[in-house]
Amino acid sequence: MILISQRLRLESMQVADIPEVRAIELDVFPTPWPGNAYHRELTGNRSAHYLCLWSDGQVSAYGGLWAVGEEAHVTTIGVRRSEQGKGLGKVMFAALVNRAYWLSTNFVSLEVRPSNDVAIHLYETFGFKILGRRRGYYTDNGEDALVMWSDLIHAPAFKARFLRLAEALQVDGFGALPDPGWPGS
Ligand SMILES: CC(C)(COP(=O)(O)OP(=O)(O)OC[C@H]1O[C@@H](n2cnc3c(N)ncnc32)[C@H](O)[C@@H]1OP(=O)(O)O)[C@@H](O)C(=O)NCCC(=O)NCCS
């Protein structure tokens, strides 16, 4: 259910956004990235693509992926605690999948804690499936990671579902959606 009432704007993450992103991260993640990680990602990793979702003059959500060959791997997604449960995670995840189309990848993957019901539900909403498990992946409590994958993102059923979800969103800067047909057809 989408409860968003504010005006939303999506932008690439800038170095100047890092302190705000980091504050959200420290609040919502049990194992936040090291302090310099976002700077390294934004300035030194050409595979990395990070986005911020702005509302009411603040970063309300952020997320990122690495695009390597056929795969877009979602590295992080976080929503400011006070803004959770209002549909912003869905907006950010849709933006990341849209980026995967722009970057001409074919699949999207990610890791998630088995205990993170909200995140798993979010990814399943987009048709992602649990296809693997990494034992003891999370260093704070030794929890396994579930590895979730999209289908081929150009497959008609996956893309139709994505377009239905993305077309319902009202976000400045979201950018063009993929063509409903097969690429190049
Ligand atoms: C996981 C996270 C990104 C989801 O973002 P969010 O803005 O809170 O989620 P949304 O409001 O977009 O809701 C997504 C779905 O989850 C459901 N949901 C959200 N919060 C919920 C809750 N507390 N209990 C049950 N369902 C919930 C929504 O109803 C929606 O499902 P629907 O489309 O079927 O209605 C966010 O909660 C977060 O940042 N968590 C901490 C960091 C984290 O765990 N990141 C993911 C790591 S893999």
To the nearest 10 degrees (0 to 180), the angle between helices 88-102 and 156-167 is 130
- Mean pLDDT, rounded, for 92-96: 98
Residue 162 near residue 100 (C-beta atoms within 8 A) = no
Domains and CATH numbers, the chain: 9-167 (3.40.630.30)
pLDDT in tens, 137-171: 999 999 999 999 999 999 999 999 999 999 999 99
Cα–ligand 1 centroid distance for 152 (angstroms) = 24
C-alpha distances in angstroms, 152 versus 27, 35, 55, 124, 180?
A: 34, 35, 32, 15, 14
* 50 catalytically annotated: no
- Could you tell me which residue, 158 or 3, shows the higher pLDDT? 158
Q: Distance of alpha carbon 48 from its chain centroid, rounded?
A: 12
- Collect all residues with Cβ–Cβ distance below 8 Å to 15 and sequence separation of at least 6: 39, 42, 43
Look at residue 70 in the predicted model and tell me its pLDDT: 97
Q: pLDDT-based confidence at 182, cuts 50/70/90?
A: confident
Q: What is the secondary structure of 23-82 as a DSSP string? A: HHHHHH-SSPPPTTHHHHHHHH-TTEEEEEEEETTEEEEEEEEEEETTEEEEEEEEE-GG
Closest ligand 1 atom, residue 88 Cα: 7
User: 94: left (phi > 0), else alpha (psi -120 to 50), else beta?
Assistant: alpha
pLDDT of 3 > 60? The answer is no
- The DSSP call for residue 1 is -
**CB of 4 shorter than 6 A to ligand 1:** no
* 111 catalytically annotated: yes
Q: What is the pTM of this model?
A: 0.96
Q: Distance between CA atoms of 139 and 25, rounded to whole angstroms?
A: 16
Task: Tell the residue nearest (CA) to atom 19 of ligand 1.
Answer: 85
**CB of 79 shorter than 6 A to ligand 1:** yes
Cα–ligand 1 centroid distance for 125 (angstroms) = 11
Percent of residues in the chain assigned helix, strand, coil, to nearest 5: 35, 25, 40
